[in-house]
Amino acid sequence: MINVVLCGGNGTRLWPVSRTLYPKQFNKFMSNRSLFQMTVERNHAICDQTLIVSNEEQYFLALDHMEELQLKDAKFLLEPMGRNTAPAIALACLAVDEEELLLITPSDHIVKNHEQYSICIEKGKQLAEEGQLVTFGLTPSYPEIGYGYIEADGNYVLSFKEKPSQELAEKYIQLGNFYWNSGIFMFKAGEFLRELERHAHDIYTASVTAFEKAHKHHDTYRIHGSDMEAIPANSIDYAVIERSTKVKMVPSDFGWSDLGSFEALYDELPKNVEGNTINSEHIGIDSSRNLIVSNDRLVATVDVDDLIIIDTADALLISKQGSSQKVKQIVEELKIRKSKLSDNHVTAYRPWGNHTVLDQSPNYKIRKVIVKPGQKLSIQKHYHRNEHWIVVSGTALITVNGKQSLLRTNESTFIRMGDEHFVENPGRIDLHLIEVQAGEYVEEDDVVRLKKNN
């Protein structure tokens, strides 16, 4: 069985900790493991292989998190843009033999009861081997209005329901045969493709064309932008699952949550006697039942209850408990303002490492740059700024206008505007340097890339 990990999504409901280029699956909310890592580990124990479907922009984040797990045998299918789950799963099915059994899992959910999870997966496996498209319905523990529901009679699916009103959700709980739609699926690759061709022929044909023209290098498939754009966007639920007569459901109860809101995150995190989430950066005076997320600076609360306080380096969110679904409206407003706060943290991740903005103004920017061993940046130049580079740890091999120099800790260099330059890390440890940009314009579109080294 192959675990297909769906690693897309923008994570707008958990802004500002989750951003477009750093969505919630890469955050380490629970422990020293990200949600993505927890998903891979959980399914690596019961699957033979792992196939990760990821946005091209998040590929290197996924690679870094896989390296932390010391799992290097995963295959990747990279999308230049998201077209929802039906095309993503179709492309994954095309990348394997049609008789392969696939376990499709989102990368940003949590499962607390692994033993029960394995039992449910085994039940699903028996149905999938018979040619069924299997979904997993979670026994609801309360009338949640943020999930879709499945009406079922044992393994037989009677209907799918959209996110209900509070009154309707309470009715579903009373009836007892309604389940939360988990978004986890299992089937043979060929069976899904045949059902996709039958019920969403346009998605099927465009996906086949895109996959046939994809670039394959080792264990990585890259879909071309124009081919991906040509695939109609749709979810697996709408395109196939709600139309097919071959769908079966496994009733499940394995401690599941999609962490789709800050309230859901609050429910999962450990709390102190006052009901505040445990955080070493929080001091609470007569404060209770608050969700506090802060890693970089102290948050102090006085006489406040039932709040959500999310503090990041460049944005602060304060909300009442129960109102955090409106966070999506903030993200929409940021996009209207064309603010980068919806997309990036102050730390941005690249194939070669990452960089963090420490301070900036219209005429200067100070960044911490980390280059991984053996990696190098692209050859580039700037028309509107000069740069000072100071090595604080590791070794930097600097090339300026074709001339090389080796810089070690506490050594520096100066890059004049117009100079063709790049830096690489020839050592065995991370290279840390401080970059000071100064000039009349210091935005990223002043970077003229002459050649990619990666």
3-state secondary structure labels for all residues of the chain: CEEEEECCCCCHHHCCCCECCECHHHCCCCCCCCHHHHHHHHHHCCCCEEEEEEEHHHHHHHHHHHHHHCCCCCEEEEECCCCCHHHHHHHHHHCCCCCCEEEEEECCCEECCHHHHHHHHHHHHHHHHCCCEEEEEECCCCCCCCCCEEEEECCEEEEEECCCCHHHHHHHHHHCCEEEEEEEEEEEHHHHHHHHHHHCHHHHHHHHHHHHCCEEECCEEECCHHHHHCCCCCCHHHHHHCCCCCEEEEEECCCEECCCCHHHHHHHCCECCCCCECCCCEEEECCECCEEEECCCCEEEECCECEEEEECCCCEEEEECCCHHHHHHHHHHHHHCCCHHHCCCCEEEECCEEEEEEEEECCEEEEEEEECCCCECCEEEECCEEEEEEEEECCEEEEECCEEEEECCCCEEEECCCCCEEEECCCCCCEEEEEEEEECCCCHHHEEEEECCC
Answer with the one of 257, 286, 315 that is the final residue of a domain. Answer: 257
Asked if residue 333 is part of any domain, the answer here is no
Same domain, 322 and 417: no
Angle, nearest 10°, between helix axes 189-199 and 85-94? Answer: 130
Structure confidence at residue 454 (pLDDT)? 44
Domain that holds residue 283: 270-326
Report pLDDT digits (tens) over 320-363: 999 998 999 999 999 999 998 998 888 888 889 999 999 988 89
Q: Which tokens sit at 293?
A: 């997320």
Same domain, 169 and 144: yes
- Find all residues with CB under 8 Å of 203, minimum gap 6, and list them: 86, 87, 90, 196, 231, 232, 234, 239
Same domain, 313 and 356: no
Same domain, 289 and 351: no
Answer with the one of 229, 257, 285 that is the final residue of a domain. Answer: 257
Same domain, 253 and 276: no
Structure confidence at residue 21 (pLDDT)? 86
Same domain, 440 and 292: no
Asked if residue 338 is part of any domain, the answer here is no
Asked if residue 216 is part of any domain, the answer here is yes
Same domain, 239 and 286: no
Asked if residue 218 is part of any domain, the answer here is yes
Q: Any idea what the CATH number is for the domain that residue 127 is in? A: 3.90.550.10
Asked if residue 341 is part of any domain, the answer here is no
The pTM assigned to this predicted structure is 0.87
Same domain, 249 and 282: no
Structure confidence at residue 266 (pLDDT)? 96
Whether 147 contacts 244, CB under 8 Å: no
Q: Which tokens sit at 102?
A: 């696939």
Asked if residue 265 is part of any domain, the answer here is no
Q: Any idea what the CATH number is for the domain that residue 355 is in? A: 2.60.120.10
Whether 292 contacts 299, CB under 8 Å: yes
Structure confidence at residue 450 (pLDDT)? 78
Report pLDDT digits (tens) over 18-64: 998 889 999 998 878 999 999 999 999 999 999 999 998 889 889 98
CA dihedral 110, 112, 117, 119 (to 10 degrees): 180
Report pLDDT digits (tens) over 143-156: 988 899 999 999 99
Same domain, 9 and 81: yes
Same domain, 312 and 405: no
Average pLDDT over residues 248-266: 94
**Residue carrying the six token digits 């109860």:** 253
Largest CA distance in the chain: 75
Same domain, 64 and 140: yes
Report pLDDT digits (tens) over 422-446: 999 999 999 999 999 999 888 877 7
The total domain count for the chain is: 3
Same domain, 89 and 47: yes
Average pLDDT over residues 96-125: 96
Answer with the one of 228, 257, 286 that is the final residue of a domain. Answer: 257
Higher pLDDT: 13 or 223? It is 223
Asked if residue 142 is part of any domain, the answer here is yes
pLDDT greater than 90 at residue 302:
yes
Report pLDDT digits (tens) over 61-96: 899 899 899 887 899 999 999 999 999 999 999 999
> Using 50, 70 and 90 to split pLDDT, how confident is the model at 170?
very high
CA distances from 357 to 23, 59, 101, 268, 370 (A): 19, 22, 45, 32, 12
Asked if residue 334 is part of any domain, the answer here is no
